[in-house]
Amino acid sequence: MTRPPTRRLVLTALGAVLLSACTRAAELPVPAEDEPVAAKPDALSAVASDARRDAATATALAAGDPALAPRLRVLAEERTLHAAACEQEVVRASGTVRGTPVAPAPTSAPAVSTSAVPAPDLAALQADLGAAATGAGALAADAPGYRAALLGCIAAACTVQLAVLG
Amino acid sequence: MTAPPASALAVALLAEHATVYGYGVVAAFVDDAVAAAVSAAAGAHRDRRDATAALLGDGAPVAAAGYEVPVVVDDPGTALELALLLEERTARAWHGVLADSEPGEARGVALDALTQDALRARAWRTALGTTPTTTAFPGQPAG
């Protein structure tokens, strides 16, 4: 026959539960402010490399299309700025998470070997810009505020560039 | 629905109120060549204003009786300059909504508004003969 639990037994058990809950809470990592939802790998790194790719394609296309060259050069400049802003944000976020500053990313575009770049193709560039606008917009929906604003700008700029290319 | 951040969204609504007013001034001075585009832009901002007011509900700020226009408009050129300023200003307001909001419904609305503002700003720069006709970060505050 089981005895009813004594008052002391109940309080002791309750205390143990509370203590373990507190311990578990203490073990949880404290999320850093503005930490990206999916921290690894940083989604902005892909946004940055897509932007560098578009800048390289636009620059290559400009060389062979004098009529479109002024527009393509502006496009290349904007996408380079997008890449730089994303890379800066990746560095900032990783520095915040680890609590130690990280060396800044190189400011110049990494050298691209011409043999690795496929022949520039305007239709492909347009498709890539459309995908960049959609992708950045989708990321903006779930990102912390600062990133949402950055991604929103990039998405809007890509949509406008598509309109410029007609 | 995620509750939108009242302050940034209210700022965006105030910007839309001022822009709807401003386009009235623009429409009075522009050439026939861009009149249809101006009319479409004004209509888009009226729709955005109404949708934003509906999103804010009872606390939505109402339009002022009049607004100070940031440039002197007395010909088609200055009218287009005003149109461009209006688009840049509303773009900044919607950028602010993206920056200040939590993930949720206001984000989609803000991104669409920012994109449409940027497209119209490009059209007005083209009409003005300004180059480049685009900016890398539409809506982002300068500096």
Residue range A16-38, pLDDT digits in tens: 444 444 344 444 444 455 555 54
Among A97-101, A122-126, B46-50, B127-131, the least confident range: A97-101
Q: Does A163 touch chain B (CB under 8 A)?
A: yes
Cβ(B80)–Cβ(B124) below 8 Å: yes
Q: Does A153 touch chain B (CB under 8 A)?
A: yes
Cβ(A37)–Cβ(A142) below 8 Å: yes
Cβ(A165)–Cβ(A71) below 8 Å: yes
Judged against a pLDDT cut of 50, whether residue B24 lies above it is answered with yes
A119 falls in which pLDDT band (50, 70, 90)? Answer: confident
Predicted TM-score (pTM) of the model is: 0.80
Cβ(B124)–Cβ(B89) below 8 Å: no
Mean per-residue pLDDT of chain A: 78
Q: What is the pLDDT of residue B142?
A: 84
Per-residue pLDDT, averaged over B117-132, amounts to 97
Amino acid in the structure at residue B56 = L
| Chain B residues with beta carbon closer than 8 angstroms to that of A159 | 115, 118-119
Q: What is the pLDDT of residue A105?
A: 52
Q: What is the pLDDT of residue B7?
A: 86
Judged against a pLDDT cut of 70, whether residue B127 lies above it is answered with yes
Q: Does A142 touch chain B (CB under 8 A)?
A: yes
Nearest to A74 among B98, B100, B132 (CB): B132
Q: What is the pLDDT of residue A110?
A: 52
Q: What is the pLDDT of residue A1?
A: 43
Mutate which of B84, B87, B97, B98 to disrupt the A interface (most A C-beta within 10 Å)? B98
Q: Does A95 touch chain B (CB under 8 A)?
A: no
Q: What is the pLDDT of residue B104?
A: 77
Judged against a pLDDT cut of 50, whether residue B47 lies above it is answered with yes
Q: What is the pLDDT of residue B143?
A: 66
Q: What is the pLDDT of residue A30?
A: 46
Q: Is the N-terminal amide bond of A41 cis, ω within 30° of 0?
A: yes
The answer to whether the Cβ–Cβ distance between B95 and A152 falls below 8 Å is yes
Judged against a pLDDT cut of 90, whether residue A115 lies above it is answered with no
Nearest to B99 among A146, A156, A159 (CB): A146
Q: Taking Cα atoms as reference points, which of B100, B99, B92, B105 lies closest to residue B140? A: B92
Q: What is the pLDDT of residue A95?
A: 84
d(CA B38, CA B134): 19
d(CA B35, CA B28): 9
Among B8-22, B26-40, B99-113, the least confident range: B99-113
The answer to whether the Cβ–Cβ distance between A156 and B118 falls below 8 Å is yes
Torsion of CA B91, B93, B99, B105, to 10 degrees: -90
